């Protein structure tokens, strides 16, 4: 990178700190409590909610890992991004009303309200472990790849620098800082990605040249059942399970809609994010395919697929513009990392520390949340070397691990909202059995070279097929176990399940719903159009 590039990156950091600390300073003048620190006082509008949903999700594991898997396997990996648009609509229309009516701070707290205290403890602990396995470590590792490839900085040094820089404004500002930096970073990462995609297409000779040079199946989202990574059966049956868990029940995502001013603002934020999630196939997967084609033509060096996007930036972009794109990569990394830091802080403080110390002061709760992140970062750094044992591509790794922990949680939330008869015994039985089966699969995959017979078959099941099967098992277990115990108390289901009394929502009216329905229909049309084109 040249001096101009470094100046651009430095200016980006200044803007991020300003976007984070200025709103935080203004809010602090009126007083600061746990609601302000963890949920931005529940006063956020749809634009910020939607931008944060998108920016926090599009971390460097997408810009590095999604492009890398695209370079290796084609656009099929983009199915997760396209399906996300539908999952966001599901979040806004189905889940948000119940979450906001319950008034909870966290998803584990919702499970306690619906089922039991044990369910809350389970989800809090499993969520924190999942953040270390699939969010913190992956984002840190992806940041190391960006620094090493584009800036010539040692992998571990780059990873540590990003952690410290991101932690600074997250610890100080809480969710409000995360939300407003996400709004800025959404524009930066989209702008940087557009520059990379356009530059790559020009180097190849245009879109038609890229299509002509693509190997058979590279531009097909629907793979045959025999495909080892993304069979269409897995996309239809398994990927939605991962989507429901991640987009509709995960604290990392749902915390943004919990911060919304009212139900309409929350729902419109999910619709806006649904539109934005139609972009990653063009902005992240296609550049990976372009990089692979340019490497075959000898126009750039590509040692491994995960370096596809950084290699494209280093080879094609001039000084100044390269700095802008690097800022976009850092924006993606920092938005994702700051979001998971804040979510971890919320879970540790609200669902663990506060349960053990119910009389803790507001100031004490905020301080505990600030201090909790450091330990999680250390565990994330320690986990990074093990990731390469599971999967060659970063993005595929994160999806495969999610497939092992998502199904029981998705089953507990879905049946908890849809079926009033679901009770604590059913939920806990399904959660425990699902977790044991999922962890057994993870251990088997780590050691599959030494396994044989049924255990090797268990380890080799496609991760999406495994998610679908595990979800079915968890649903059956939850239903069966629930029927062996008395139904839940009325206060456990009233207002937070279908079939109960309709509780009026804040900011809700028919005219707004009609507008939102039309906008949601446009998102669905965008999904269908993407599926038709890439098939």
Report the share of the chain in percent with pLDDT over 90. Answer: 42
344/310: higher pLDDT = 344
Q: What is the rounded average pLDDT of the residues 34-41?
A: 80
Q: Name every residue whose Cβ is closer than 8 Å to that of residue 362 and which is 6 or more positions away in sequence.
A: 33, 34
Q: pLDDT > 70: what percent of the chain?
A: 90
Average pLDDT of span 314-336? 80
In terms of pLDDT, which residue wins out, 155 or 298?
298
Provide the residue ranges of all domains of the chain, joining segments of one domain with +: 3-393
Segment 156-175 mean pLDDT: 77
Report DSSP letters for 20-55, one per residue.
Answer: HHHHHHHHHTT---HHHHHHGGG-B-HHHHHHHHHH
d(CA 20, CA 33): 18
Burial of 355 per CB tally in 10 Å (0-12, 13-18, 19+): middle
- Is pLDDT above 80 for 401? no
Task: Give the pLDDT score at 203.
Answer: 92
pLDDT at 397: 60
DSSP state of 220: -
Average pLDDT over every residue of 118-140: 82
pLDDT band at 418 (very low <50, low <70, confident <90, very high): very high
Among the residue ranges 109-118, 202-211, 382-391, 477-486, the one predicted with the least confidence is: 382-391
Predicted pLDDT of residue 368: 87
Provide the pLDDT for residue 267: 96
Which of the pair, 377 or 484, is modelled with greater confidence? Answer: 484
Q: Quick check: 52 pLDDT over 60?
A: yes
Q: What is the mean pLDDT of the chain?
A: 85
**CATH of region 3-393:** 1.20.1730.10
Look at residue 10 in the predicted model and tell me its pLDDT.
83
Q: With helix as H, strand as E and coil as C, how does 297-342 read?
A: CCCCCCCCHHHHHHHHHHHHCCCCHHHHHHHHHHHHHHHHHHHHHH
Closest CA to 135 of 391, 436, 310, 342: 342
Q: Which helix (H) or strand (E) holds 169?
A: helix 155-204
User: How confident is the model over 301-320, as pLDDT tens digits?
Assistant: 887 877 788 788 888 888 88
Token pair of 54 as six digits: 């998108």
Residue 391 confidence (pLDDT) above 50: no
- DSSP code string of 9-24: HHHHHHHHHHHHHHHH
Tens digits of per-residue pLDDT, 208-227? 999 998 888 899 999 999 88
Per-residue pLDDT tens over the stretch 230-289: 899 999 999 999 999 999 999 989 999 999 999 999 999 999 999 999 999 999 899 999
């Amino acid at each position: 990178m040249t001096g101009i590039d470094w100046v651009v990156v430095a200016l980006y950091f200044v803007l991020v700190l300003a976007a984070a600390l200025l709103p935080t300073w203004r809010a602090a003048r009126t007083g600061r409590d746990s609601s302000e620190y963890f949920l931005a006082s529940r006063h956020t509008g749809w634009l910020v909610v939607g931008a944060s949903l998108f920016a926090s999700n599009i971390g460097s594991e997408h810009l590095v890992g999604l492009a890398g898997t695209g370079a290796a396997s084609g656009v099929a990996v983009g199915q997760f991004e396209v399906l996300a648009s539908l999952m966001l609509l599901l979040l806004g229309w189905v889940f948000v009303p119940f979450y906001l009516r319950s008034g909870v701070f966290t998803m584990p707290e919702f499970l306690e309200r619906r089922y039991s205290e044990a369910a809350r403890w389970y989800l809090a602990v499993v969520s924190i472990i999942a953040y270390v396995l699939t969010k913190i470590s992956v984002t840190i590792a992806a940041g190391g790849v960006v620094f090493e490839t584009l800036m010539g900085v040692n992998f571990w040094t780059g990873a540590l620098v990003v952690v410290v820089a991101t932690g600074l404004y997250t610890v100080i500002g809480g969710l409000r800082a995360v939300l407003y930096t996400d709004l800025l970073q959404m524009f930066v990462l989209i702008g940087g990605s557009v520059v990379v995609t356009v530059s790559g297409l020009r180097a190849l000779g245009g879109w038609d040249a890229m299509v002509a040079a693509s190997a058979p199946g590279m531009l097909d989202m629907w793979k045959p059942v025999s495909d080892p990574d993304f069979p269409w059966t897995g996309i239809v049956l398994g990927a939605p399970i991962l989507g429901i868990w991640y987009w509709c029940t995960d604290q990392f995502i749902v915390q943004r809609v919990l911060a919304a001013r009212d139900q309409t603002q929350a729902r419109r934020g999910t619709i806006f994010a649904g539109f934005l999630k139609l972009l990653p196939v063009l902005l992240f997967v296609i550049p990976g395919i372009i990089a692979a084609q340019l490497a075959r033509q000898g126009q750039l060096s590509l040692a491994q697929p995960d370096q596809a996007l950084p290699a494209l930036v280093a080879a094609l972009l001039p000084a100044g513009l390269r700095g802008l794109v690097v800022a976009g990569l850092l924006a993606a990394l920092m938005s994702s990392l700051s979001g998971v830091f804040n979510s971890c802080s919320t879970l540790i403080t609200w669902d663990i520390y506060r349960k053990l110390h119910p009389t803790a002061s507001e100031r004490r709760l905020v301080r505990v949340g600030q201090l909790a992140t450091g330990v999680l970062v250390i565990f994330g750094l320690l986990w990074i070397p093990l990731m390469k044992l599971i999967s060659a591509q970063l993005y595929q790794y994160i999806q495969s691990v999610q497939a092992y922990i998502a199904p029981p949680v998705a089953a507990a939330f879905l049946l908890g909202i849809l079926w009033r008869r679901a009770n604590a015994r059913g939920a806990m039985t399904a959660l425990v059995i699902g977790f044991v089966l999922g962890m057994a699969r993870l251990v088997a995959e780590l050691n599959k070279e030494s396994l044989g017979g049924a255990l090797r078959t268990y380890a080799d099941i496609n991760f999406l097929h495994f998610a679908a099967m595990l979800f079915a098992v968890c649903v059956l277990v939850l239903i069966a176990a629930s029927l062996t115990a008395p139904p839940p108390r009325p206060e456990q289901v009233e207002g937070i399940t279908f079939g109960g009394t309709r509780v009026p929502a804040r900011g809700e009216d028919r005219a707004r719903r009609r507008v939102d329905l039309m906008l949601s229909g446009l998102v669905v049309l965008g999904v269908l159009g993407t599926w038709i084109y890439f098939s």
